[in-house]
Amino acid sequence: MAPHIGGIVASDSAKLPADEKIGGGPSVVFDAVALLLSADGADQLADEPAARDFVHDAVAHAKFVAHTEGAAALLDRVGVERDGGVIALGSAADAEGFVKRCRALRYWDRVAPAR
């Protein structure tokens, strides 16, 4: 997924393909979300209503959300609370942990009523 169908060009000039654009593929159709963004990319997406809606809806639907450190601006703009279903990706082990957490399908603690 990228701002435009066809993908993006990364900072190292590598082309990263995308099948879906942010405004065309709502987060509801995905089991989990990984925000693999640079700080500049997050700043740009934070100004895009479709990107903010995508992240907001993923959190509201109790999806697991992984993110790079650079994604902070987008998460902050949306007001995402860093709970146990929002996982920072700083290493390969973090990515492996995210995949394992996703086996639960949703982070129900985010939407469970207070006891």
Q: Tell me: the pLDDT tens digits for 16-26?
A: 888 888 888 88
- Kind and range of the H or E element at 73? helix 72-78
**What would the mean pLDDT of 89-115 be, rounded to a whole number?**
90
In the structure, what pLDDT confidence band is assigned to residue 9 with cuts at 50, 70 and 90?
confident
For 4, 11, 90, the CA distances from 64, given in Å and listed in that order, are 24, 27, 16
User: Which pTM does this prediction carry?
Assistant: 0.88
Q: How confident is the model at residue 48 (pLDDT cuts 50, 70, 90)?
A: very high
Q: Are strands 8-9 and 15-16 parallel, antiparallel or unpaired?
A: antiparallel
Average the pLDDT over 3-31 and give the result: 87
Longest dimension (CA), the chain: 51
